[in-house]
Amino acid sequence: MVFHIISAVPALLDSPLSHSILQRARNKGLLDIHIYDLHDYGVGKQQQIDDYQFGGGAGMVMMVEPLYKCIETIFSKFGKMKVIYVTPDGKTFKQAHANEWSMEESFIIICGHYKGVDQRVRDHLVDIEVSIGDFVLSGGELAALVLVDSISRLIPGVLNDASSALTDSFQDDLLAPPVYTRPAKFNGWNVPDVLLSGHDANIRDWRERKALETTQNKRPDLINE
């Protein structure tokens, strides 16, 4: 899987992509991430990437030309691919999207800043607009990282134990059941007996019941959806 991420503040993207599971996936060649500084495609001597909005109003708007140039450069080198724009007014990103998109070969992700991008970018260059929830971030970089992380961990070979991803919360529209590790007794707080019993069928039943119970308590909307 190849991600091409276009950003006006590329330094924001470095660290989360260079550690732990994602760095290991990059080392193994399962994941390839290219980061583009939008200023390199800026207009004029100042390498301008944003401007005042027509009609007046506070906040700068990201210009169409730098984004067009950057996307065309990526297309000409790597071929056509889907372009995702992360924006608070996009469709809410769900685990089902991560599952589906983990089977694609490559994506371009545009990180918005300021007041967002010129509408012509959205109308003519972008295929998919996604938000990561009903709140506003100062820029799209954190949202782009959320997408890259949640999609990448589903690529075969990225997680050491493939079955682990299947038992995550949301994978079956339920939250995950509680988990415990050693010691079995700490401070008078005990691990449920069934988990120590070695009885696989009982453990499976208990986990199913707890997943349902947890979901009913914390996210009843997932059950009634």
| Minimum CB–partner distance for residue 39 and ligand 6GU (Å) | 19
Alpha-carbon distance of 175 to 168, in angstroms, equals 7
The answer to whether residue 140 forms part of the interface with ligand 6GU (CB under 6 A) is yes
Comparing CB distances to ligand 6GU, the nearer of 7 and 215 is: 7
Scan for tokens 């690529």, then name that residue.
155
Q: Does 87 bind ligand 6GU (CB under 6 A)?
A: yes
Strands 185-186 and 189-190, sheet pairing = antiparallel
Answer for which of 62, 86, 145, 154 binds ligand 6GU (CB under 6 A) is: 86
User: Which residues, in sequence order, are CB contacts of 54 under 8 Å at separation 6+?
Assistant: none
- Sole residue written with tokens 């939250």: 175
Number of residues that bind ligand 6GU (CB under 6 A): 13
Site for ligand 6GU in 165-224 (CB under 6 A): none
How is residue 55 written in tokens?
Answer: 């009609």
Is residue 60 a contact residue for ligand 6GU (CB under 6 A)?
no
| Residue closer to ligand 6GU, measured from CB, 87 or 215 | 87
- Exactly one of 88, 115, 120, 168 binds ligand 6GU (CB under 6 A); which one? 88
Helix residue ranges, H only, 54-140 = 64-78, 95-101, 119-124
- The runs of H, that is alpha helices, within 125-161 are 141-152
Bridge partners (DSSP) listed for residue 173: none
Binding residues for ligand 6GU, per CB under 6 A?
Answer: 86-88, 112, 131-133, 135-137, 139-140, 143
